[in-house]
Amino acid sequence: MPPAYVKPYVNRQKNDATDAEAICEAVTRPNMRFVPTKTVEQQSCLMLHRARHLFIRQQTAIINSIRAYLAEFRDCRTCWAARRRATAGSRRR
């Protein structure tokens, strides 16, 4: 059951006891909708997507850190290309 469905039934401060009481109250309601349980295939597919997303974020972080290290030595290829374009434009005039 999603927490958003239970939240209207919490009438005091949020702690484990009041959360359990609200869940019990929400379950007894006749119009309460439940979230279907995911199959093993769905869970494994989601796990692969999360792992791939994590690897991509880590790869981007490593690339950015290497670019920052190279920029300290003024060896950044993107900085070099931008400077080259800027100086090439000034030579044409």
Is the pTM higher than 0.85? The answer reads no
The pLDDT tens digits along the chain (93 residues) read 777 777 777 777 778 788 888 888 787 877 777 778 899 999 999 999 999 999 999 999 998 888 888 777 765 566 666 666 666 665 554
Element (H, E) at 46: helix 40-72
Backbone Cα Rg of the chain: 27
DSSP secondary structure letter of residue 7: G
Is 70 in contact with 76 (CB distance < 8 Å)? yes
| Domain spans, the chain | 40-92
All residues at 6 or more sequence positions from 19 whose CB lies less than 8 Å from its CB, including other chains: 6, 10
